[in-house]
Chains A and B, each alone.
Chain A
């Protein structure tokens, strides 16, 4: 596939617990195209978080290859992986993971500061636009602890998108939210997917959240069971 942003080939991941070896993924292969809004579904312990970690360059496979945005993660150093995460990938976590001591604005701005290369003005424009997009402009000066769960997750989404990544990974982004709030978050992500064409990959075991995805990859016992293409959605965008 020419426009695949993620290519996973024959990937296995084995964790060592003492002397026991626990296989988390077995020979998984998966291609993800640019602009997809992909859900990885499966029961807990099925290996979906492991797969996300491998794609997100925060872990490396025991065997097989993971190619993200044209870069094979196998040959990369720890520093290069960190740089790759910073440049190309955004993260949304199950537990929001905002920096408690920074304001909403600073949390969103933070990846831009790490990345560098932008003037203060450019940064301000981007942060303001994103806060606006997630509807939190009036909370810019607030600390995360002063916000509701849904609001925090929206800050997280804004933070994930602020560097203009090719790919956003979200691990159970709605698990800590009530179902209504969860849906608004998925709606928000989808809106951003539609607006900028950013690829979203999120794991979930909530069928209602899954319904929003263009593709659903089902995983069980460390293996891809099936891939349900919601082709019409992709086709509608003419990809």
Chain B
């Protein structure tokens, strides 16, 4: 036993001394292993942290830990849209209440949140529409109870505002005349005549004789000519708002209030509002400021910032249109004071305001927000507004609902992340309207009407069977799916219009919220570490209740976005694999060379009585010692790099998508023990592997080599 230790001792001694005897080889081999293990450690820490960040982002905004959706769906569920950005096509969950009963009974399930993900067009109306609406309100008020000085002044100002807009529109058209051809002018002769009329003194002098008639002319003939009549698409999730806010505590209302329990309404994503609903010039200024403060970019050496400011200067018309004469005068006065300018033209003042360099930007930015912004509606949608959402329903025709905007929402840590920040949250009853599914009250209404007119419940698909006997291929489940759908557009439309007004006002019970369709359901678990077994339990429960549902993890449900992490991991491991493959080849070559140089000494060892296994062990100890030493050094160095990155505040998310992956403004990587262990494991395997072939060669060295005289 003692000599066993003695043999091992001398083996180790020879091995280590050999390493030091061939320093260059050891350093080259070691260097490669060091770099490789450093990359493995840093890379896997970063990927792990992205994984954790994503987990936070997805689980905290839409995903929960598990998602349930109909197994009959054509597409897989993709919470953030498919690759092309389209929403995935899901078959509806007919009766959410039934699903909820089954799933909520699984012990680890804390919350079952119904969801319908879709996007809709928002039309907030154009500035001219809004101005005309104000004017119409004034006219109504005057007609009802006569004028008073304050109302008269407001009325005059609103009239002047509309007139200014008409004048601006006309001027714009005249400016454009030089670049359009005669044919175009001819075709648009009527429009021009209308604009000329609306800008003329005569029209406004006679406005009060027939205010309603004149308003109609403006609304029908002038308003459509305003070009800023834009629709934007809003991505939203129709859901049980109360359950949602319980389940996703990252969501919080930054302005306005939560939609009251049982009410209809929408909470708009703050980032979406910033990006799409905010006055464009203001948004551009914000972007310049963000770029300057958080990314350290400078106007002087950044063409993009210069372009944004130039664009802002081109957006002054939008501001002019928003101001009525009283507001415009106030803005002129404020800007003259703040800029110390003698200019009297508002547009010129605004252009001067948006003309700035790095030294004046902060001051101009402050002036804009302190002096000009309070006079404007910065956002085209405000808290308390009722907006119209339009979407193509399941059966193809357009549906629209009016919903009240109760507030704006943000997801903590995801304020700048487009994927989450653009999501708005709509009550599920309104979503069911938009989606083209009957709410339970509508179903009841239709049943009542049908009873009265005596129709039987025959769907298109069933009609054939009804007429020609059975034989259609449709399964009972399919039929059930289609039965709920409204098949006659015009009929539904009428119903919809009739009930819209009182629907907005009334409240809904939990049964009504639950009792209808949903597209998918997010499950939030009590113990999130037991997601896998809970998934099994949920599947079992659904199977027992004969519900044909798919249960997927949040990663799967995140669709293309969820695959990002898997992809990043694959890329990292592939890179590491190739680094170590190259390392393996280089190390192998170096060690084979070294072994061949030692043929004589190995032969001697064999001649004087060392067994093959002694030689093999010696060489393996040599390569793995290098591997362990430099691998550990590389891992330490990698850990140092990770700590350094943490120390400087992480890797900044340079765009909005990254901040979703990072789940915050920057990625602060954390050293994972698992990834560390894996990296070290890889290093060990590689160093042993790279020592194997040289060791095999060494076993072929015979003691005869010792007898060869030196070259």
User: Residues of A with Cβ closer than 8 Å to B?
Assistant: 49, 52-53, 56, 58-59, 78-79, 82-83, 85-87, 90-91, 93-95, 97, 99-102, 106, 109-120, 123, 159, 171-172, 175
Contact = CB atoms under 8 A, between A and B. Distances in A.
Contacts, number: 100
B704 A58 contact: yes
Contact of A118 (B3, B600, B608, B704): B3
A91 B21 contact: no
A116 B9 CA distance: 12
Contacts of B600: 95, 97
B18 A101 contact: yes
B220 interface: no
Contacts of B604: 93, 97, 99
B2 A119 contact: yes
B13 A102 contact: yes
A105 B13 CA distance: 13
A113 B601 CA distance: 17
Interface of B: 2-4, 6-7, 9-10, 13-14, 17-18, 20-21, 600-601, 604-612, 614, 702-704, 706-707, 709-710
B709 A94 contact: yes
B7 A116 contact: yes
Contacts of A113: 3, 6-7, 9-10
**Among all A-B residue pairs, the 4 with the closest Cβ atoms:** A86-B609, A101-B17, A116-B3, A58-B703
Given A100-B601, A119-B2, A159 B608 contact: yes
A58 to B, nearest CB: 4
B611 A79 contact: yes
Contact of B21 (A78, A100, A175): A100
A49 B703 CA distance: 13
A171 B707 contact: yes
Nearest to B20: A101
Nearest to A110: B10
A15 B703 CA distance: 16
B302 to A, nearest CB: 61
Contact of A101 (B14, B606, B611): B14
A91 B14 contact: no
B707 A114 contact: no
Given A86-B609, A93-B607, 16 more contacts: A82-B610, A82-B611, A82-B703, A83-B609, A86-B610, A90-B608, A91-B608, A95-B710, A97-B604, A100-B21, A100-B601, A101-B14, A101-B20, A110-B608, A116-B6, A120-B2
Contact of A82 (B3, B14, B609): B609
Contacts of B608: 85-86, 90-91, 110-111, 114, 159
Nearest to A171: B707
Nearest to B7: A113
A13 to B, nearest CB: 12
A114 B610 contact: yes
A184 B268 CA distance: 102
Contacts of B4: 116
A203 B540 CA distance: 86
Contact of A85 (B601, B607, B702): B607
A111 B610 CA distance: 8
Nearest to B611: A82
Nearest to B17: A101
Given A83-B609, A101-B17, A106-B13, A93 B2 contact: no
B709 to A, nearest CB: 6
B10 A91 contact: no
A91 B706 contact: yes
A106 B11 CA distance: 11
A87 B609 CA distance: 8
A83 B610 CA distance: 8
A114 B17 contact: no
A110 B6 CA distance: 9
Contacts of B10: 102, 106, 109-110, 113
A119 B600 CA distance: 30
15 contacts: A49-B707, A58-B606, A79-B611, A82-B606, A82-B609, A97-B706, A100-B21, A111-B608, A111-B609, A113-B10, A114-B7, A114-B609, A115-B3, A116-B7, A118-B3
A58 B707 contact: yes
Contacts of B610: 82, 86, 114
Nearest to A59: B704
B474 to A, nearest CB: 78
Contacts of A83: 609, 611
